[in-house]
Amino acid sequence: MNLKAQNVRRIQAVSAVAIGALLLAGCAGGTSSPDDASGEAPAELAPKVDVIDPSVSDDASGAVTLCGNNDAGAFGALIDSFNSSQSAVTASYQALGPNTTETRQQAIQRLEGGQTDCDVYLTDVVWTAEWATQGWIYDQTKLIEEIGGPLLKSAVGTTAYDGRNWMTPYYTNAGLLFYRGDRVSEPATLPDLYAQAETAPENAMLLGLSAYEGLTTNFLEVLYSAGGEVLDDSGDIKIDSKETRAALELLKGALDSGAIDPASLTYDDGGARKAFESGAGGFMRNWPSAYASALQADAVKDVVKVAPLPAFDDSREATGVLGGWNLAVPLNTKNLPGAVALLKYAASPEFQKELFLKTTQAPVVEEVYEDADAKAAIPFTDQLYAAVKSAKSRPKSPVYAQISSAIYDNVYAVLSGQAKADDAIEKMVTQIQAAQDTF
């Protein structure tokens, strides 16, 4: 069998598995350094596809449609701002689903079915390897070479796979700790946080621990901070470790003591945010955008404070998990020049500052974090900058959806008291290996 036929076989195999998998939800980004933008991966190579010439946008005109999930604030802001900035291209937004899971399912249906209603797709940072190996999207390497200088290396790294860039960063993300300054104080470590949180139910920690993608992210933040990992740089499974057991033990103990509100087992990030805004809890782990929302909530707007995520213990440094969204252009776009014009605008310093001020979504342009207006309007700008620079990626794999499902299903089983840690870890390893064996 020749190389081209082998690639087609691999793509067909992973597609069949991916469509049937339990898909991602939540945010909303391996264990390699976040500053490694090379995208070198140990998995099979992505196919060769057309490479975008950045100059194609010079004569852009007509209509262009951006497709993504139902977040009119963060994503609609790009459409409104882009349309106000020029008149040659008219952009519109099409919501594909109410959450990340539905958005991804509907996007894949369109990409595999050859539909042409979307000229640009918003993509979760963990989709890059899968979408690249499927051969659905343009290679954006030359575009990133042209516009990537001002961009955060960690954000550019989420667009890379097999030594090529497949997407343009839109906004990045890293988790932060929100707390009520009238009830508790900023903790240095997780044991310190939980010691304060268990003193009274109204001081408890709130976070998304239901069985979904957000639980993977929240667990990996603890695991990474403990010094653990899921896969090594060669793709070998490393999650069966003392660090994984320590992370599970810490979280389960905090739930049992009431330091983590047991209702968190039913929350996604949005549920945790709503509970915190209603006055419940003293601490909350969430994304930066939760700050803008908290300022509108009467119960917490005058007392909410923001801090970096605490370290696992006194001997370690905290490590966040990189999140965010990127912009991909499908090979069947009806308006490639217009799509590229939209991408260039989205990554511009001017728009990135505007987006940050409006939504508190973390910018992908480095200079925005030093902007005086941004620092004055958003008091945790420095902490956010440090967080997104140091955050680590989730495992970079074409079968990430199955890997994440193996993590959150089994972590949830431990936290909810349905499984012992050793049994859950054994199942994680088996399921991750099975996912890898499909590709």
Closest of 398, 404, 437, 402 to residue 130, by C-alpha: 398
Confidence check: pLDDT of 35 > 50: no
Whether the pLDDT of residue 375 is over 60: the answer is yes
Rounded mean pLDDT, 357-369? 94
The pTM assigned to this predicted structure is 0.81
Q: Provide the percentage of residues in the chain whose pLDDT is more than 70.
A: 90
* Helical ranges in 161-317 per DSSP H: 190-197, 213-225, 242-257, 269-277, 290-294
**Region 405-413 average pLDDT:** 97
Residue 26 has pLDDT above 80, yes or no: no
Tell me which amino acid residue 179 is: Y
**pLDDT band at residue 385 using 50, 70 and 90 as cut-offs:** very high
Task: With cut-offs at 50, 70 and 90, classify the pLDDT of residue 22.
Answer: very low
Phi-psi region of 327 (alpha: psi -120 to 50; beta: other; left: phi over 0): beta
Euclidean distance between CA atoms 439 and 46, whole angstroms: 12
Is residue 380 predicted with pLDDT exceeding 60?
yes
DSSP 8-class letter at 407: H
pLDDT tier for residue 72 given thresholds of 50, 70 and 90: low
Report the percent of the chain where pLDDT is more than 90.
Answer: 80
Q: How high is the mean pLDDT of the chain?
A: 89
H or E segment to which residue 164 belongs:
strand 164-165
C-alpha to C-alpha distance for 115 and 317, rounded to whole angstroms? 47
Contact at 8 Å (CB) between 175 and 202? no
Residue 396: pLDDT band by 50, 70, 90 thresholds? confident
Q: How confident is the model at residue 44, as a pLDDT?
A: 52
Residue whose entry in the numeric block shows the structure tokens 């950045």? 54
148-175 residue pLDDT tens: 999 999 999 999 999 999 999 999 999 9
Whole-number pLDDT of residue 167: 98
Q: Which of 200, 207, 321, 183 is nearest to 272 (CA)?
A: 207
> What average pLDDT does the segment 230-247 reach?
95
Per-residue pLDDT tens digits for 338-349: 999 999 999 999
Q: Which pLDDT does position 40 carry in this prediction?
A: 44
The amino acid that residue 414 corresponds to is V
DSSP letters along 240-264, please? SSHHHHHHHHHHHHHHHHTSB-GGG
pLDDT at 7 over 70: no
Task: Name which of 377, 349, 206, 338 is nearest 282 in CA terms.
Answer: 206
Q: Is the pLDDT of residue 31 over 70?
A: no
| Residue 326 in tokens | 């990127």
**Interval 272-291 mean pLDDT:** 96
**Confidence tier at 390 by pLDDT (50, 70, 90):** confident
- Phi, psi (degrees; rounded to nearest 5) at 193: -60, -50
User: How do residues 205-228 score in pLDDT, each as one tens digit?
Assistant: 999 999 998 999 999 999 999 999
Supply 358's token pair.
Answer: 């409006």
Least confident of 72-76, 194-198, 329-333: 72-76
Q: What is the pLDDT of residue 97?
A: 80
Mean pLDDT for 43-55 is: 87
pLDDT tier at 233, thresholds 50, 70, 90 = confident
Which strand (E) or helix (H) includes residue 97? strand 89-97
* pLDDT for position 12: 39
